Amino acid sequence: MLPNRLPSDWQRYYAQHRTAIVTVVTGLLYAGGWTLGAVTDADLAGAGVLVVATVIGGYDIAKHGYYELRNRTLGIKTLVTVAAVGAIGIGAYWEAAAVVFLFSLGSYLEGRTMRKTRSALEELLELSPDTAIVRRDGSQVEVPAREVRDGEIVVVKPGGKIPVDGEVVDGESAVDQAPVTGESAPVHKTAGDDVFAGTINTDGALEVRTTGTGSDTTLQRIIRRVEEAQEAQSPAESLIDRFASYYTPAILVLSIGAFAATRDAMLALTLLVIGCPGALVIGPPVSIVSAIGNAARNGVLLKGGAHLETAGKIDLVAFDKTGTLTKDETAVVDVTGFDCDADQVLRLAAVAEKKSEHHLGDAILEAATDRDDTTSIAADGGEPSGSRRPSSDMRSDGGAVATNPMPAGSGSVPDPDEFDVIPGKGVVASHDGNEIVVGNRALLAAEAIAVPDDVGDYVRERESDGETAVHVVRNGTVVGIIALRDELRDAAPDVVRSVKDAGIRTVMLTGDNERTAEAVARAVGIDDYRAELLPEEKQAAIEAFRDGETAGKSGHVVAMVGDGINDAPSLATADVGIAMGAAGTDTAIETADMALMADDLSRIPDAISLSKATRWNITENVAIAVLTVGLLLAAVLGNVVHLAGGMLVHEGSVLLVILNGMRLLRH
């Protein structure tokens, strides 16, 4: 028994299930009318019931057909309407009711499966909890999550979903970020770490200072992007739409011609119905929507069908080094002085780099401030912590060596008196009457500073180990070398191997020196590398790959993998820009063609594989649609298939391409 509902409830229920209700009523009337005509002598009554079934089932179809004509288009609903009206006009009531019933049933099943295709987005929508527990006036109160204000402290209990974006201010826990970043394992979170709405606090309690609520969360931005991407037309969809705009009128002309030649109205109406390009038009969108939804569930944000299709053609992937193949956790691993104390070398470099925003400068400054802290503790009679070595040792060649200084967060490094950044090369500063130059070989060449042979040999030794060697110069004389290392990501070699196994060429672009680049490229198995590149030179390299200047013949379809900000010119130039670690980074989400929500390189081969599978899936759907229509047209012209049977096969082909496209949800 149906539930007892108020009239407004019934109205809402009918509005939500209109297609299903119309289909059921049409089907029952169709069965009743056919029964009356087949098993009784009430032919007139049976015909009347079939006409009613045609009117009820065909009303919405005719209405949409009318809108199609008003928009000066000729679509499938217009053709079905003409076929149904024509069938009634020639007394083919059973065929008229059968056409509208089968079309209505097909539309209902099509809508139902399309909603299933978009279920990935619905799953994302369900991730955010509706309420949040907030500390207000010294007590905890439960409020709607959208009403939490920025800066308020939200309490998240073990096992609960995090309702807001924010920063952990108290507590420790492992947080399952898979819904947002696609990471397979929970991530340990403690004070100072960012968390995202919709992720799951697996064990300990957390207190989170709110930075984003409601629509202003990373999850909501992802959902908006996925919605926009699913609505955006791909090149294949646009091509098929243009084809359909010519094909459908051609079918109408064919139908009229067939009637003129044969005077067989049923043949003409059947050609109208089975010639409709329904499967052809709906196939590519289903494939695109399924693939984008699948990618979103796995932490890959695709900007639209066009980028998805392009990604399926990629034959060269260019990787940035720092922060992409490496962890972007650069640390000083060695300081060597040449006729100068190593501590003094580190301090000179720290003064020069204090106002720099470069990651190498940050690492040098942290090492120097940590050294100050260590020295301070030792001077007070305490022992330096951990495995720190004495502040300096003497090298066999007379240089002073300090190894593994640990980073810290405080110190008393003075500001430089003057400071100038030389992009891609280093910094030039002055302090206490000394000119300090800190940078790479190119900077020293530009400043006409000579590099002694022993210094050059030592630099080559460090760079051959994959380290970055930074020269420290005081008043025109090289007084030391600071070696820094950024560890490779564990997944980098496997990812590069997977990309190469897919027949895709791999290249690394880096601003680092030749020897360091070679060492890193060798460690991860990259096919080729370009070293000592400025940002604009990376962009030029991408253009060269696209234009085929380096391939010697045709150009490549290039994907550039970077951090989404520093590599912005190269990402924009590439055919597909892939940004790493986009969660919480608005710029990457807004600008990248493809964004990995976590710093998980392993998603790249998966995303490329999904893109290639999508292109193949679209081809399959087009083939199914064209083959079905071609065979049906031949069968109709051969008088083998009639109106109702043709409609049944036609609707079956539509459902077949939908189901085929939905396979990408599980790719």
CA separation for the pair 103, 648 (Å, rounded): 8
One of 176, 320, 328, 512 is an active-site residue; which one? 320
Neighbour tally for 396: CB within 10 Å: 6
The string of DSSP letters for 278-295 reads HHHHHHHHHHHHHHHHHH
**3-state secondary structure (DSSP) of residue 451:** coil
Beta 331-337 vs 393-394: how paired, if at all? unpaired
- The residues with which 473 forms a beta bridge, in sequence order, are 437, 478
Collapsing DSSP states into helix, strand and coil, what is residue 207?
strand
Nearest Cα residue to 642 out of 88, 96, 77: 96
Closest to 400 measured CA to CA, from 484, 480, 325, 478: 480
CA-CA distance, 233 to 239, in Å (whole number)?
A: 10
Amino acid of residue 215: S
Q: Which of 509, 47, 122 is nearest to 289 (CA)?
A: 122
Task: Give the span between the Cα atoms of 197 and 219, in whole angstroms.
Answer: 6
DSSP classification of residue 145: G
Q: Give catalytic status of residue 320 as yes or no.
A: yes
**Contact assessment for residue 166 and residue 208, using Cβ atoms and an 8 Å cutoff:** yes
CA distances from 264 to 122, 237, 253, 256, 270 (A): 49, 35, 15, 10, 10
Sign, Cα dihedral of 387, 393, 395, 399: positive
The token pair at 102 is: 């089968």
In angstroms, what is the C-alpha Rg of the chain?
34
How far apart are alpha carbons 344 and 357 in whole angstroms? 22
Question: Judging by DSSP bridges, how do beta strands 316-320 and 505-509 pair with one another?
Answer: parallel
Classify 504 as helix, strand or coil.
Answer: coil
State the amino acid at position 195 in one-letter form. V
Q: How many CA atoms lie within 13 A of 68 on its CB side?
A: 19
Token pair 């229920």 is at which residue? 13
Q: Are 312 and 618 in contact (CB under 8 A)?
A: no
Between CA 287 and CA 267 the distance in angstroms is: 34
Rounded CA gap, 458 and 452, in Å? 10
Neighbours of 536 (CB within 10 A): 12
Q: What share of the chain is helix, strand, coil (3-state, %, to 5)?
A: 55, 20, 30
**Residues recognised as catalytic:** 320
